[in-house]
Structure 1
Amino acid sequence: MRLPLRNATNRGRQVRPLLLVAGLFASGIAWGAGTECEALTEEDGFQSLAGCRWANGRLALAPEALASLSYDQDGLAAVHAGGGFHYVRADGRQLPVITFDNGPDYVVEGLVRGRVGARIGYFDTELRQAFPATFDFGWAFEDGVARVCEGCRKGTPDDHGHTAMVGGTWYRIDRQGRSAMDAETP
C-alpha cells in the first residue's frame, strides 16, 4: 500500500516530509503485525526490515539491515519496533523518539525529542543528547525556546485520539536546557 507524503509545517516553516500514517492507527491495524521491525520509507510506507529485531528494550540491527535503510538529509532513518519509533544512523546509533503526527518526531531547529526512560530529552541529528533529560514532556523548539513541563501527565484522549498533557509546572527552556522564562502553571 502506498501512503501519500505530507508536507508538515511548524508555524509556517517547512519541516522535512514524512509519511502520513494516521489511517493505520484509525483502522486498528497493529504496527509490525507479523514482523519485529519495520522501516518507514517515503516511497513505500512501512516495510518489514530483515536483520532487525526488538530485544531487551533495544533495536538489534545487523549490518545488512543498516545498509538497507532509507536515510534522510540529516542521516536519519525511521524504524518502528517495540511499540514506538526510533531514529537510526548508518553507524548503528539509535534513539527512541516520541510519536508526533502519527510518525517519528520531527527534527526542528536541529533538535529532536527523544525518550530517556520515562523522561523527554532533546537530541541533535547525530543523536547526541543536548542537555540532561529532566522533563515529563516538552514541545519542539521554536525561535530558540521550547515549552516543557515537570509533574504533568497524560490527560484523557479527545474524539480524534489526541491526548493533552495536564497539570504540573510549565516553563520555557533555551537550547542549553536553561529556564528561559518564569515558571507557569496551566
Structure 2
Amino acid sequence: MKRLLPTMFVFAILLPSLSYAQSLISFEKNDLYGFKNKKGKVVITPQYTLVNDFNEKGVAFVLNKNEWACIDSNNKYLLSPFIFDNGPDYASEGLARFVENKKIGFFDSACKKTIKAEYDFANPFENQFSIVCNGCASVKDGEHSTIQGGKYGVINKKGKVVVSIEFDSIVSIDIRKKTATVTKGNSKQEVKLQ
C-alpha cells in the first residue's frame, strides 16, 4: 500500500490537468483562433491562424504566421513539428518528427522529444526502425520534394543507430533476419542490425 500512495498522488495531480486541457474549446475572433474553458472564460487569446483540438495528453498543434507549433494548455511552446502534407507530421508507431536547428528528431503524443534532432532527414518509423540520412537535402519536384544525396543509416525507437550512417541507400530492412540491405558505390550488401 505504501508504494501505491505516491502513484495515486501523482495520478490525482495529473488527471485534472489533462482533463482540463481536453475541456478547452477553440473559438474564432477576427479571423484568429484561441481557446476557452467550458465556462466560456478565455484561456488562450485568439492569436493563431488555425488550431487543432487538445489531445488526451494536454497538447495541441497551432499555426501562427505559417509556422506550426505544439503548445500545452498554458500556451507554452513545446516544439515545431516536421511539416508533412501541409500540416504537422503524422505519428507512426507512436512517434512523429520535429524540426530543431534544421535537423529532424522524434516526439511522442505529449510533444515530448524522445529522439534528439540530429538528422538532415528521417523517414517515419516502420516496423520499429527509421531510415535516416545526413548530408542529404530536400529538392523540390513540382509540388512535392525528394531527398537526394547524403549518407544513410537506420535507428531504432530508442534513437540508437543500428546501421551506421555511411551508405548511399538503405534498400530494405528484414526484421526476422535482423539485417538491412544497403548500397555503397556500385555494390549491394546485407548488414546486421546492431
Q: TM-score range by the shorter chain?
A: 0.5 to 0.7
Distance 1:82 1:64 in 2: 17
The aligned amino acid for 1:162 is H
Indicate the larger mover: 91-100 or 166-175. 91-100
Aligned residue pairs total: 129
- The structure 2 residue matched to 1:64, chosen from 21, 44, 49, is 44
Unaligned runs of 5+ in 1: 1-40, 52-61
Q: Given the superposition, is the C-alpha separation of residues 158 and 117 from structure 1 closer, same or farther in structure 2, using an over 3 Å criterion? A: same
- The structure 2 residue matched to 1:158, chosen from 141, 152, 158, is 141
Shift of 1:91: 4.0
Residue pair 2:54, 2:60 contacting (<8 A) in 1 also: yes
> 5 Å matches for 1:12-51?
48-50=32-34
Show the counterpart of 2:67.
84
Shift of 1:175: 0.9
Identity over aligned pairs, percent: 26
Show the counterpart of 1:145.
129
Distance 1:101 1:112 in 2: 13
- The structure 2 residue matched to 1:130, chosen from 114, 127, 132, is 114
Show the counterpart of 2:158.
176
Distance 1:63 1:95 in 2: 20
Is residue 168 of structure 2 the alignment partner of residue 185 of structure 1? yes
The aligned amino acid for 2:160 is R
Show the counterpart of 2:13.
none
Residue pair 1:122, 1:129 contacting (<8 A) in 2 also: yes
- The structure 1 residue matched to 2:105, chosen from 121, 132, 136, is 121
| RMSD value, Cα | 2.8
Distance 2:52 2:83 in 1: 19
The aligned amino acid for 1:97 is P
Shift of 1:181: 2.5
Shift of 1:138: 0.7
TM-score (norm 2): 0.57
Q: Report 1 or 2 for greater relative contact order, CA contacts < 8 Å, sequence distance ≥ 6.
A: 1
Residue pair 1:84, 1:97 contacting (<8 A) in 2 also: no
Shift of 1:177: 1.2
Show the counterpart of 1:6.
none
Q: Rg larger in 1 or in 2?
A: 2
Residue pair 2:44, 2:75 contacting (<8 A) in 1 also: no
Equivalent residue of 1:143, what SS? coil
